[in-house]
A and B are shown apart, each in its own frame.
Chain A
Amino acid sequence: MYNLWRLIVRHQLILTFILCQGFALVWFFSSHGYPRGQWVRASLEVQGTWNEYVSDMSQLTELAHQNEQLLLENAQLRSELLKSKQRNNPLSTESKFANTIVPTEVIRSTAHLSANFIIINSGSDDGVETGQGALHRGFAVAKVVETTANHALLLPLIHTGMEWSARLGKNGPVGRLFWNGKDTQIAHLDDIPRNFAVSPGDTIYTSGFQGIFPPELTFGYATTTAPEQDGEFQRIQITLGAPFQELRYLHIVDDQASEAIELWMNPTP
């Protein structure tokens, strides 16, 4: 026992280093891909408050108030549009599309990391919940992963740890959309059958399968680059619709259908 103690004392530096580095790496790997939990909420509060202050300062010279009014009006119009879309759909008897739209402002976003994030100045008090999707001028951009009362953390399409369900054209096959960590405007769509012809400019829509976004919202457009072949499937390069380096205002949408599906999948006894 004494010898063990002497060994520990003799190598205290390297042992402390290994212990602390182990803690740091566990923290990093457990939170890097999908940051959730108490520390994220605490960090969101600190970051959110400060970033809101910074954002307010930078907006002093701009027409911030008018922007907010326009944003609210825009959100109402989008909400009406989606509802009328639902009414025109003969297959639906009740709401299948998003009916909650929260206009919000980005107070911090990164586009230079492999695991980028967005912080918005709306939280659970405003109706923002985890699992909801975010739109920028009608383009799907991010998913809410954590909320506090007044702020929320979103993971955007440009996050190497995320995959999104996307459809090629309105009636085409569904594939996995992902970002490879390089160009912030370029993503890739995998698992599209080789026999399916792809033309430059084809629209890539949300499939609605993940319960984040309602179906038929736009992710981006197929580019002119020749698709990469991989066995029976092809990989398509996509130009994303939203400008991730200059996101300012977003709309948070709630896919009602996903809640109903959750209920069907997890029935209460």
Chain B
Amino acid sequence: MIGSITPYLTLLVAWILQVFCFQYLVMGNGWLLPTFHLYGLILLPLTLSPLALLLICGLTGVLLDLTTMGGGIFTSSALLMGGCIPAVNRILIPREGYETMEQGTLQSHGFQWFSSRALLLLLAHNLWMFSLEAGRWGLMVEGWGKALTSAFFTWGLFLMASYISQSKRRKR
């Protein structure tokens, strides 16, 4: 079920921002590496089928790799995250369950739920991505450190984006 177009527009905007802006925002010699396109993926409908989630994540990763010289690393990491999303959603399911086509936004589920979900998924994505990138055991521990700091950095960007979109809605 595809439903409303808003989550897909959000994904498109997040992907464009990553390609044209955030990929240049690498700081601290790689210790703060933003992966903002994941914001679009975590805001996909919570009731979307796991197969559709996996395919959308894979496609997002492929397009990102093709435009940023990633060479498959974003595809692989996004697929892993796509596989983790249903499991994380099940862990964090509220007592009343999810509504059809509901998005996992900060506004609808609160700071704690949003942050737990975003950080779990970001950590899964980043640990896989930085381990692959390290390519050898000697660089693995440093890679995991970078995965952790980059996850928190990207989570901060997610919070900023959420607050910005929230304040725009309030103004309307």
Min CB gap A108→B, angstroms: 8
Q: Mark interface residues in A31-66 (1 if CB within 8 Å of B CB, else 0).
A: 110010001101110110010001000000000000
A245 CA to B54 CA, complexed, in Å:
36
Label chain A's interface by main secondary structure. helix
Q: Is the CB of A13 within 8 A of B134?
A: no
Contacts of B50 in A (CB 8 A): 13
A113 CA to B75 CA, complexed, in Å:
17
Is B33 in the interface zone, CB < 8 Å from A? yes
Q: Is the CB of B134 within 8 A of A114?
A: yes
Instruction: Tell me how many residues of A have a C-beta within 8 Å of chain B.
Output: 41
Min CB gap B151→A, angstroms: 16
Is A12 in the interface zone, CB < 8 Å from B? yes
A115 CA to B134 CA, complexed, in Å:
8
Q: Mark interface residues in B67-103 (1 if CB within 8 Å of A CB, else 0).
A: 1110111011001101100000000000000000000
Q: Is the CB of B69 within 8 A of A114?
A: no
Q: What is the total of A-B residue contacts with beta carbons within 8 Å?
A: 96
Q: Is the CB of B139 within 8 A of A27?
A: no
Is B58 in the interface zone, CB < 8 Å from A? yes
Min CB gap A38→B, angstroms: 11
Q: Is the CB of B71 within 8 A of A21?
A: no
A-B contact pairs, 18 of them (CB 8 A): A13-B51, A17-B54, A17-B79, A20-B75, A21-B76, A21-B80, A24-B79, A27-B65, A28-B71, A28-B132, A29-B72, A32-B73, A39-B66, A111-B29, A115-B135, A181-B138, A181-B139, A182-B139
